[in-house]
């Protein structure tokens, strides 16, 4: 039998996931010698031995991989034998192409959990326990290749015991870069408001922190990707207190439960939801409240859903007992970004937190908790961040290096490298100065981690987006991309569609090339071009952004249009109690003072919510639409009258008959929930009819759905149900959010295709 040698190169998520020890152990088992090392693009190894042994070894690598690894390519080339004595793990080779994939952060694995709670283990109750299968990754990485000295763990020199594990190929902690223990690693301390350290007798800081929560205190807890603010979710007074201090009136809080059993006590969780909750990413999952739900009512007021997650960092297991449920909301004030730097957190959270549970390992990259709901048994992102970033979206073909700068709110940006699109973690609202600054820093950081030098910058058409202004000022060729085209292209990219498709892009408002604000759009789009084929009728937005915060303005304008000057005599709750200033608002709308026109579907939801008296002013983005959807629950909607006008080859959804019928319904005393359900069903029916008519003319059968309005599951499932009766292929977002958090992906792909 021949003695042979091969050189193997593997790319994908293969660094920081225990790949080299796994290769080492395989080499031992198959009796091959050689070496393995990380390089800038993945893992490189040389194996030599008798032909059968080498073949078996290569086959084993192809067949199985460590749990967190994702192999994207594996190439085997024969080489000269080096007559190695044994198999060696070599230190990382630097200076190579930096194209290795960085793993997202991973929730604490079952092994580590066991050790954490085992009194005889040397890491008993050690809140930084981790191994090659779990622990921090993206949030601590400063540079690549992934190596301890390029993470924020470099501050901590390993003790002999940790070093021995790190060097032992048989150990689960072999080359686990964040490896640490109570002797050598980072530690938590508990501080009071004034920054004085509390040193509880016979208790560790997490145990003491848990007691303070039980007593009703608000704690700021430094975790993996930032700070949380925590209170006991069963303590109504504490939750109300947190709301008030955080200046957050109605927006629901997410909770963390100590165990799956605790979640199932309060919420309904399907198999797909349980799988997501317990996944390595550990996101917040939106669940329906169950019959026995009894958490503080101010957590998610009036909302049948609640965002729930399980412990994902070791400290969470020390804080929450199995039956505990805590509010765990991002550590910030109102619309600010989540705090992740200690000084900053202490300053910004001082008016909110009673105590701080902090540690001395720096968070290099901020990462908010991801938020997902299950739609049709598959994950549907609301916010994509910790646990998912920086995993790429794989594209159908290679594209030029593009930086796409994203939208204004819920901003994420995107970088393309080859066949992969890297969507950044949730940045937030750019108008906020700290957010804007972290946005600039995050762009530079991701460019560096991916070793990408953008050749093209893609941005939204909206001239006032701060992202647009940033992009235009760069010394790069720019590709402006229409907002809704980008939304649709994001879905297309995820599903490797090259188009053309019928795109339904429903959101609040996005800049249209005609200077109006689009947002209820039927596009015929491919990855380069689009054509507007239909839209919702325009309505005035008197006061601009003010009208988005005060939906009553839209309702009053609609009433005036429908009923003329006499609308105020119409006997419905809204006209009985018109908000002050309504005459001036109408005058402004009539004269076009600060009154853009919009076809935004989100605005139609707002107007109807106000007409029904559900919400006249909002306290968080999308609130009126959320509450209109909630009102419709439990009612079977009917299709009310509507019209579709054809003008200049465009199909326009004319909702005047619908709004008029709703007004009549209100006067006849029909339940608000019934009318809310009818609204959803009618909008779905009109959407379906317009889609069918476009399909008839174009022959297109693929339909992509995107935009923030499709976070409305009632509308989404009705449209899917109606279109499902025809032979359409429907495509939803599965890897990026339908809201503006996914916009950059679409911008990037369009710009890439256009400059290809």
Partner 1 sequence: MYKAPERILLGHGSGGRLSHDLIKHFILPAFANPVLSELHDGARLTIDGARLAFSTDSYVVKPRFFPGGDIGKLAVCGTVNDLAMCGAEPLYLSAGFIVEEGLPAGELQQIIASMQSAALAAGVAIVTGDTKVVEKGAVDGLYINTAGIGRILPGVDIDARRVKPGQTVIVSGYLGDHAIAVMSERHGLTLPAQIVSDCAPLNKLVRELLTAVPAAVTMLRDPTRGGLATTLNEIAADAGVGIILEENAVPVRPEVQAVCEILGFDPLYLANEGKVIVIVEKEYNEQVLAIMRQNALAGSACIIGTVTEKPPGQVALKTMVGGLRLVDMLAGEQLPRIC
- The backbone torsions φ and ψ at residue 131, rounded to the nearest 5 degrees and listed phi first, read -155, -175
Contact status: 162 vs Zn ion (CB under 5 A): yes
| Three-state secondary structure readout of 193-246 | CCCCEECCCCCCHHHHHHHHHHCCCCEEEECCCCEEEEEECCCHHHHHHHHHHH
Q: Residue 687 binds which one of Zn ion, partner 1, Fe ion, none, with CB within 5 to 8 A depending on kind?
A: none
Q: Which is nearer to Zn ion, 126 or 642 (CB)?
A: 126
Q: Which is nearer to Fe ion, 46 or 466 (CB)?
A: 466
Q: What binding mask, one character per residue, do residues 714-753 give for Zn ion by CB under 5 A, x or -? A: ----------------------------------------
- Per-residue DSSP letter, 385: -
Where b means 16+ CB within 10 Å and e means fewer, 625-634 reads bbbbbbbbee
**Which residues here bind Fe ion, judged by CB under 5 A?**
507, 510, 740
Q: Which is nearer to partner 1, 390 or 428 (CB)?
A: 428
Q: Which is nearer to partner 1, 658 or 743 (CB)?
A: 743
Tokens representing residue 750 in the block: 């369009």
In the list 27, 109, 405, 588, the residue contacting Zn ion (rule: CB under 5 A) is: 109
* C-beta of residue 1 within 8 angstroms of C-beta of residue 60: no
The continuous run of DSSP H or E covering 459 comes out as strand 456-460
Q: Which is nearer to partner 1, 203 or 597 (CB)?
A: 597
d(CA 225, CA 139): 6
Write the CB contacts of 453 (distance below 8 Å, at least 6 apart in sequence).
Answer: 401, 447
Contact status: 97 vs Zn ion (CB under 5 A): no
Q: Residue 594 binds which one of partner 1, Fe ion, Zn ion, none, with CB within 5 to 8 A depending on kind?
A: partner 1
Shortest Å, Cβ 354 to partner 1: 18
Q: Which is nearer to partner 1, 209 or 345 (CB)?
A: 345
- Nearest CA to 374 out of 287, 306, 255 is that of 287
Shortest Å, Cβ 536 to partner 1: 15
* C-beta of residue 329 within 8 angstroms of C-beta of residue 254: yes
In the region spanning residues 519 to 548, those forming contacts with Zn ion, defined by CB under 5 A, are none
The string of DSSP letters for 54-76 reads HHHHHHHHHH---TT-EEEEEEE
Q: Which is nearer to partner 1, 266 or 348 (CB)?
A: 348
Q: Which is nearer to partner 1, 280 or 476 (CB)?
A: 476
Q: Which is nearer to partner 1, 185 or 337 (CB)?
A: 337
Q: How many CB atoms neighbour CB 116 within 10 A?
A: 19
In the list 117, 183, 334, 587, the residue contacting Zn ion (rule: CB under 5 A) is: 183
Q: Residue 131 binds which one of partner 1, Zn ion, Fe ion, none, with CB within 5 to 8 A depending on kind?
A: Zn ion
Residue with the two structure tokens 């202490």: 346
**Which residues here bind partner 1, judged by CB under 8 A?**
247, 333-336, 348, 351, 407-410, 430-434, 436-437, 462-466, 469, 472, 474-478, 483, 507-511, 517, 519, 541-548, 581, 583-585, 587-588, 591, 593-594, 596, 602, 621, 708, 739-740
Q: Residue 547 binds which one of partner 1, Fe ion, Zn ion, none, with CB within 5 to 8 A depending on kind?
A: partner 1
Q: Residue 348 binds which one of Fe ion, Zn ion, partner 1, none, with CB within 5 to 8 A depending on kind?
A: partner 1
* C-beta of residue 414 within 8 angstroms of C-beta of residue 744: yes
Q: What binding mask, one character per residue, do residues 120-159 give for Zn ion by CB under 5 A, x or -? A: -----------x-xx------------------------x
Cα–Cα distances (Å) from 560 to 268, 315, 514, in that order, read 44, 57, 25
Shortest Å, Cβ 253 to partner 1: 18
The string of DSSP letters for 83-129 reads --SSEEEPPPP-SS---PPPPPPBPPPHHHHHHHT-TTSTTTT-TT-
* C-beta of residue 230 within 8 angstroms of C-beta of residue 219: yes
Shortest Å, Cβ 477 to partner 1: 7
Cα–Cα distances (Å) from 75 to 9, 61, 93, 103, in that order, read 5, 11, 18, 21
Shortest Å, Cβ 288 to Fe ion: 26
Q: Which is nearer to partner 1, 345 or 449 (CB)?
A: 345
Q: Residue 184 binds which one of Fe ion, Zn ion, partner 1, none, with CB within 5 to 8 A depending on kind?
A: Zn ion
Cα–Cα distances (Å) from 388 to 107, 368, 381, 598, in that order, read 11, 11, 11, 34
Nearest to Fe ion by Cβ — which residue? Answer: 507
Q: Which is nearer to Fe ion, 324 or 494 (CB)?
A: 494
* C-beta of residue 138 within 8 angstroms of C-beta of residue 103: yes
d(CA 177, CA 92): 12
Query: In the beta sheet, which residues pair with residue 285?
Result: 308, 372
Q: Which is nearer to partner 1, 311 or 707 (CB)?
A: 707
Q: What binding mask, one character per residue, do residues 497-516 give for Zn ion by CB under 5 A, x or -? A: --------------------
Shortest Å, Cβ 606 to Fe ion: 15
Q: Which is nearer to Zn ion, 181 or 658 (CB)?
A: 181
How big is the site for Zn ion, counted in residues (CB under 5 A)?
10
Task: Quote the longest CA-to-CA distance of the chain.
Answer: 98
* C-beta of residue 612 within 8 angstroms of C-beta of residue 676: yes
In the list 76, 79, 184, 630, the residue contacting Zn ion (rule: CB under 5 A) is: 184
Shortest Å, Cβ 524 to partner 1: 22
In the list 61, 112, 310, 750, the residue contacting Zn ion (rule: CB under 5 A) is: 112
Query: In the beta sheet, which residues pair with residue 301?
Result: none
Tokens representing residue 723 in the block: 């279109």
Q: Which is nearer to partner 1, 49 or 454 (CB)?
A: 454
Cα–Cα distances (Å) from 230 to 83, 222, 237, 322, 582, in that order, read 58, 11, 13, 16, 41
Positive or negative torsion for Cα 12, 18, 20, 22: negative
Contact status: 224 vs Zn ion (CB under 5 A): no
Shortest Å, Cβ 598 to partner 1: 8
Shortest Å, Cβ 668 to Fe ion: 36
Q: Residue 181 binds which one of Fe ion, Zn ion, partner 1, none, with CB within 5 to 8 A depending on kind?
A: Zn ion
Site residues (CB under 5 A) for Zn ion?
A: 109, 112, 131, 133-134, 159, 162, 181, 183-184
């Amino acid at each position: 039998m021949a003695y042979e040698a091969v050189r193997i190169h593997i790319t994908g998520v293969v660094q920081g996931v225990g790949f080299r020890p796994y290769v080492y152990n395989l080499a031992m088992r198959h009796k091959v010698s050689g070496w393995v090392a990380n390089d800038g693009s993945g893992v490189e190894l040389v194996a030599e031995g008798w032909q059968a042994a080498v073949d078996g070894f290569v086959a084993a690598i192809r067949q199985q991989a460590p749990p967190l690894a994702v192999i994207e390519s594996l190439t085997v080339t024969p080489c000269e034998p080096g007559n190695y004595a044994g198999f060696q793990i070599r230190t990382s080779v630097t200076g190579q192409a930096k194209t290795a994939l960085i793993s997202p952060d991973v929730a604490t694995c079952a092994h580590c959990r066991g050790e954490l709670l085992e009194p005889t283990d040397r890491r008993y109750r050690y809140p930084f326990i981790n191994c090659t299968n779990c622990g921090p990754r993206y949030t601590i990485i400063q540079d690549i290749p992934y190596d301890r000295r390029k993470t924020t763990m470099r501050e901590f020199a390993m003790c002999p015991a940790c070093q021995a594990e790190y060097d032992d190929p048989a150990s689960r902690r072999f080359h686990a870069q964040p490896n640490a223990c109570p002797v050598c690693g980072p530690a938590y301390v508990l501080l009071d408001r004034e920054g004085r350290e509390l040193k509880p007798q016979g208790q560790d800081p997490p145990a003491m922190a848990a007691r303070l929560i039980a007593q009703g205190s608000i704690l700021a807890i430094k975790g993996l990707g930032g700070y949380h603010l925590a209170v006991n979710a069963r303590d109504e007074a504490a939750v109300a207190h947190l709301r008030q201090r955080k200046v957050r009136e109605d927006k629901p809080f997410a909770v963390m439960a100590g165990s799956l059993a605790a979640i199932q006590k309060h919420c309904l969780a399907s198999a797909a939801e349980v799988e997501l909750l317990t996944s390595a990413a550990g996101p917040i999952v939106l669940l329906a409240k169950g019959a026995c739900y009894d958490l503080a009512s101010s957590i998610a007021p009036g909302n049948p859903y609640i965002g729930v997650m399980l412990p994902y960092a070791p400290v969470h297991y020390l804080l929450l007992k199995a039956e505990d449920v805590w509010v765990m909301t991002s550590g910030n004030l109102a619309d600010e970004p989540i705090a992740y730097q200690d000084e900053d957190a202490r300053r910004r959270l001082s008016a909110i937190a009673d105590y701080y549970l902090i540690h001395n390992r720096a968070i290099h990259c901020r990462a908010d908790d991801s938020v997902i709901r299950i739609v049709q048994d598959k994950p549907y992102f609301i916010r994509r961040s910790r646990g998912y970033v920086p995993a790429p979206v794989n594209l159908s073909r290679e594209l030029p290096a593009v930086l796409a700068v994203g939208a204004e709110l819920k901003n994420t940006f995107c970088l393309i490298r080859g066949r992969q699109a890297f969507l950044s973690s949730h940045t937030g609202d750019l108008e906020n100065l700290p957010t804007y600054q972290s946005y600039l820093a995050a762009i530079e950081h991701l460019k560096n981690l991916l070793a990408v030098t953008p050749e093209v910058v893609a941005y939204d058409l909206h001239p006032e987006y701060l992202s647009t202004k940033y992009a235009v000022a760069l010394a790069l060729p720019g590709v402006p991309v229409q907002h809704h085209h980008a939304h649709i292209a994001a879905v297309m990219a995820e599903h490797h569609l090259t188009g053309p498709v019928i795109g339904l892009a429903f959101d609040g408002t996005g800049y249209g090339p005609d200077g109006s604000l689009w947002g209820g759009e039927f596009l015929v789009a491919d990855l380069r071009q689009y054509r507007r084929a239909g839209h919702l009728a325009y309505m005035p937005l008197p006061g601009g952004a003010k009208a988005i915060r005060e939906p009553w303005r839209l309702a009053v304008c609609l009433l005036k249009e429908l009923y003329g000057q006499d609308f105020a005599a119409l006997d419905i709750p809204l006209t009985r109690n018109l908000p002050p200033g309504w005459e001036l608002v109408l005058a402004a709308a009539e004269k076009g003072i600060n009154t853009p026109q919009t076809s935004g579907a989100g605005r139609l939801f707002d107007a109807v919510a106000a007409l029904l008296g559900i919400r006249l002013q909002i306290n968080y983005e999308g609130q009126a639409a959320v509450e209109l959807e909630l009102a419709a629950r439990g009612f079977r909607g009917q299709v009310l009258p509507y019209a579709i006008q054809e003008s200049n080859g465009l199909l326009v959804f004319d909702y005047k008959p619908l709004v008029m019928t709703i007004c009549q319904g209100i006067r006849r005393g029909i339940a608000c929930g019934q009318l809310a359900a009818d609204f959803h069903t009618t909008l779905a029916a009109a959407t379906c009819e317009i889609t069918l008519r476009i399909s008839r003319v174009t022959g297109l059968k693929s339909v992509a759905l995107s935009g923030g309005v499709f976070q409305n599951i009632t509308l989404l499932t009705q449209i899917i149900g109606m279109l499902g009766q025809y032979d359409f292929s429907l495509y939803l977002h599965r890897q990026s959010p339908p809201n503006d958090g996914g916009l950059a992906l679409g911008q990037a792909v369009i710009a890439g295709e256009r400059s290809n």
